[in-house]
Amino acid sequence: MTEDRFERGKQALIDLNGEETAQRVLDSLADVSPKLADSLVSWGFGEIYTRPQLVPRDRQLVTLGMLTALGGCEPQLEVHVNASLNAGLTAAEIVEALLQSAAYCGFPKALNATAVAKKVFAERGLLPVSGD
């Protein structure tokens, strides 16, 4: 049962972020906090993320909002901008979500998040973003 949760969560993590990123996250925790890796995978992904009540694309919209508002989560935001694209959000939709964050979180956090998104878009050949 526990293993089921882990396997289901790991598959969801791979589906969303790709095998390489998923493995990198797990490997980085293996020698310091394996239970944190297990919690992220088994609970965060296996129990929560994979629930059918909200599709992955919609979950990423919520997550983009949360990570921008929290601040100081640039590494996680980079992973989730990639995940957002993988889940079917367009670059223009991601940019629009971060634009909206200027109204709710202020310009500094919106600018920080947009800089992270730009970096990801550049790596994936998605610049310029044609949102307007």
Least separation in angstroms between CB 31 and a second copy? 4
User: Which CB atom, from 82 or from 112, has the smaller least distance to a second copy?
Assistant: 112
User: Which CB atom, from 19 or from 115, has the smaller least distance to a second copy?
Assistant: 115
Task: Reduce the DSSP state of residue 128 to 3 states and report it.
Answer: coil
CA–CA separation, 64 and 7 (whole Å): 25
CA–CA separation, 114 and 29 (whole Å): 28
Least separation in angstroms between CB 56 and a second copy? 11
Question: At residue 44, what are phi and psi to the nearest 5 degrees?
Answer: -55, -50
The residues binding a second copy (CB under 8 A) are: 1-2, 28-36, 39-40, 43-44, 47-49, 51, 53-54, 58-59, 61-73, 75-76, 92-93, 95-112, 114-115, 117-118, 121, 127-129, 131-132
Instruction: Single out the residue of 92, 103, 15 nearest to residue 65, CA to CA.
Output: 103
Asked if residue 88 lies in contact with residue 99, where contact means CB atoms within 8 angstroms, the answer is no
User: Which CB atom, from 14 or from 102, has the smaller least distance to a second copy?
Assistant: 102
Least separation in angstroms between CB 29 and a second copy? 7
Residue type at position 123: E
